[in-house]
């Protein structure tokens, strides 16, 4: 019998999904339908939404959205795609809605995006454009605390472009972004988690 999502850590790797269980053994799960990297992913209703990315080293971004259900080890591809191709974006969930932030369209350089898209799986439509980030970003991180979304760090241009340390907060009630205290150091291409709020 499969363990619940809370007792596993899911790692999505280019062509396949692996699960590490409490006893530290890896288990091969159903591969993603669309092989890709530089994706963003988030969890809603115990399902993993994998969005965007690219399937070639220096290619265009993808708008593909696929949803993995660990309870059934299946992928759902009947989900509205992002309105535009995005790679190196970041995402979070507020009030059962998914937000995809920033990123850019192709993996050959160029600038970051400041766009934000919202997806409500309980609504009949697709993705909705929301207020823009205050700064364009990719390789940034997104976390949600107390129904506010925090977007941190990242880059606005590929190497040798600068790395950022600013943090901005999104309030979904007013659809507005505000700068809050910056990180102590610049960071891009990093990971973050929330612990005890």
Q: Who's near 174: CB < 8 A, 6+ residues apart?
A: none
Residue with token string 């993603």: 32
pLDDT band at 7 (very low <50, low <70, confident <90, very high): very low
Examine the pLDDT at 181 and tell me if it is beyond 70: yes
Residue 168 CA to residue 122 CA, distance in Å, equals 27
70-95 pLDDT per residue, tens: 999 999 999 999 999 999 999 999 99
pLDDT for the residue numbered 9: 36
Please compute, for residue 138, the number of CA atoms within 13 A of its CA located in the half-sphere on the CB side.
24
Look at residue 3 and tell me whether its pLDDT is greater than 50.
no
Q: Residue 83: CB partners within 8 Å, gap ≥ 6?
A: 63, 117, 126, 127, 129
Map out the domains of the chain with their CATH numbers. 5-180 (2.120.10.80)
Distance CA 18, CA 192 (A): 20
What digits encode the pLDDT tens for the residues 97-123? Answer: 999 999 998 776 667 999 999 999 988
Provide the percentage of residues in the chain whose pLDDT is more than 90.
Answer: 66
Q: Using CB atoms within 10 A of its CB, is residue 66 exposed (0-12), middle (13-18) or buried (19+)?
A: buried
The overall average pLDDT reported for the chain is 87
Highest mean pLDDT among 16-30, 53-67, 91-105: 91-105
What pLDDT score does 23 carry?
A: 66
Q: Report the predicted TM-score, pTM, of the whole model to 2 decimal places.
A: 0.85
């Amino acid at each position: 019998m499969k363990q619940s999502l809370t007792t596993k850590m899911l790692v999505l790797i280019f062509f396949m999904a692996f699960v590490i269980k409490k006893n530290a053994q890896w288990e091969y799960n159903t591969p993603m339908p669309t092989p890709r990297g530089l994706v963003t992913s988030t969890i809603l209703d115990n399902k993993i939404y994998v969005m965007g990315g690219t399937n070639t080293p220096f290619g265009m971004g993808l708008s593909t959205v696929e949803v993995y259900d660990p309870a059934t080890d299946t992928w759902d591809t009947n989900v509205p795609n992002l309105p535009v191709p995005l790679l190196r974006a970041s995402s979070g969930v507020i009030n059962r809605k998914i937000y995809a932030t920033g990123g850019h369209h192709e993996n050959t350089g160029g600038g970051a995006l400041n766009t934000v898209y919202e997806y409500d799986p309980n609504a009949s439509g697709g993705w909705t454009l929301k207020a823009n980030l205050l700064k364009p970003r990719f390789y940034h991180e997104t976390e949600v605390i107390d129904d506010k979304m925090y977007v941190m760090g990242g880059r606005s241009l590929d190497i040798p472009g600068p790395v950022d340390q600013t943090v901005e907060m999104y309030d979904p009630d007013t659809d507005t972004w505000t700068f809050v205290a910056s990180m102590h150091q610049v960071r891009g291409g990093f990971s973050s988690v929330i612990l005890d709020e």
